[in-house]
Amino acid sequence: MAGTVSSNGSGAIITKVGAFSAPAVFLVDVDGNPIVPTSAAGQTAANASLSSIDTKFPAQVSGGLPVTIKGGTPWKLISSATSNTPTQVNATLKKLSSMSAISLGSVVRFLKFWSKATIPLTTDVPFFTFPIPANTQGAGVSIPLSIPAEVSQTIWVAITASGADNVLDAVPAGEIYVNGIVL
């Protein structure tokens, strides 16, 4: 079935296939073939599917990363010679929404979080300590927090070789990859 493409006068592109018109958003199957509704019921179902898509994602792009994801801000940390030194996640956002950590090493490592106004020391106790499974082919942990962990001060994070609260020992560079969302 052939279609036509036109503008509605306000800059939006409209596609028309047979008697059905829709914004120029093309649905495709896994092989990249267009999916075209062939009935009014099919068009209604397609419209419902399209209206459920969050068009705000990503809202803005900076440096190749989305600046906001469903109202949150992404952060990342890759192990380096200094990743055992606590790193500030975000100075103003105080809700930890989700995080994932992937290990390419052969030894279990630890991801620690603190809530402090200043950089944490070995005398400070982290509010979270998560073990990161070891596997040279990549293994990890993904932690979605359905109720974000809200803290009163700045969120700090470190990757360490020990799970003990008072130890901030180093991890080899490029071994651990951590990503998260703060609100």
Rounded distance between C-alpha atoms, residue 75 and residue 155, angstroms: 11
Question: pLDDT per residue over 57-97, tens digit each?
Answer: 333 333 444 445 667 888 899 998 777 899 999 888 888 88
Topology (CATH level 3) of domain 61-182: Jelly Rolls (2.60.120)
Write the pLDDT tens digit of every residue in 155-173.
999 999 999 999 999 999 9
pLDDT per residue over 5-45, tens digit each?
Answer: 444 444 444 444 445 444 444 454 545 555 555 566 655 65
pLDDT at 12: 40
Query: How high is the pLDDT of residue 183?
Result: 87
Which residues, other chains included, contact 154 with Cβ-Cβ below 8 Å and sequence gap of 6+?
A: 88, 89, 90, 91, 94, 115, 116, 117
Is the torsion defined by CA of 55, 60, 64, 65 positive or negative?
negative
User: Euclidean distance between the first and final Cα of the chain, in Å?
Assistant: 47
Domain limits, the chain: 3-51, 61-182
Q: Which residue is it, tokens 């106004």?
A: 117
Phi, psi at 173, each rounded to 5°: -60, 140
pLDDT recorded at residue 9? 47
Predicted TM-score (pTM) above 0.75? no
Helices (H), the chain: 40-51
Whole-number pLDDT of residue 94: 86
Is residue 119 scored above 50 in pLDDT? Answer: yes
Average per-residue pLDDT for the chain: 74
Tell me what pLDDT residue 83 has.
Answer: 76
Report how far residue 128's alpha carbon sits from residue 164's, in angstroms, rounded to the nearest whole number. Answer: 12
Residue 86: predicted pLDDT: 93
Question: Of the candidates 102, 158, 101, which has an alpha carbon nearest to the alpha carbon of residue 125?
Answer: 158
Residue 85 near residue 106 (C-beta atoms within 8 A): no
Q: Binning pLDDT at 50, 70 and 90, where does residue 134 land?
A: very high
